[in-house]
């Protein structure tokens, strides 16, 4: 996800970026600068002072979800992905593993994405 926004808050103070709900890992860049990767709730990251412009900020959020949807897709399309040299695995009932009937899991940036000014005088 990429979006552009203007920021009317203080550019000399840090801000807090809250991504809301994410499924499942988010890598966050602001104006080409990597802010970090978030792997669990709450999906929040501090935006250091001086990173934002008054106009034309570019926020990039790259989301990676669990492998379950990928395995489901491969099995539904009958793509051979279980290519192991020295091991194979079975399902819990000792039958051939098949993810084709798994439900589709939620994935992506579900939001809402919010940006807050931070009052550093009130921080511990």
Q: 29 to each of 36, 58, 66, how far by Cα in Å?
A: 7, 8, 21
Number of domains observed in the structure of the chain: 1
Q: Residue 2: phi, psi to the nearest 5?
A: -130, 135
Domain residues for the domain of 105 are 2-119
User: pLDDT band at residue 5, thresholds of 50, 70 and 90?
Assistant: very high
Q: What percentage of the chain has pLDDT greater than the value 90?
A: 66
Tens digits of per-residue pLDDT, 33-86?
A: 999 999 999 999 999 999 999 999 999 999 998 889 999 999 999 998 887 766
112 within domain boundaries:
yes
Q: Is residue 124 part of a domain?
A: no
In a domain, 65, yes or no: yes
Structure pTM? Answer: 0.78
CATH at residue 10: 2.60.120
Please report the pLDDT score of residue 56 as a whole number. Answer: 95
Domain-located, residue 13: yes
């Amino acid at each position: 996800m990429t979006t552009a926004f203007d920021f009317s808050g203080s550019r000399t103070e840090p801000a807090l970026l809250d991504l809301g709900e994410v499924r499942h890992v988010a890598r966050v860049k602001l104006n080409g600068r990597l802010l970090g990767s978030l792997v669990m709730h709450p999906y929040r990251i501090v935006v250091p002072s001086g990173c934002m412009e008054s106009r034309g900020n570019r926020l990039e959020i790259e989301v990676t979800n669990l492998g379950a949807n990928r395995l489901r897709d491969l099995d539904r399309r009958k793509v051979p992905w279980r290519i192991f040299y020295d091991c194979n695995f079975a399902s819990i009932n000792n039958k051939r593993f098949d993810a084709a009937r798994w439900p589709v899991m939620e994935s992506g940036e579900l939001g809402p994405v919010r940006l807050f000014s931070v009052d550093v005088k009130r921080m511990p």
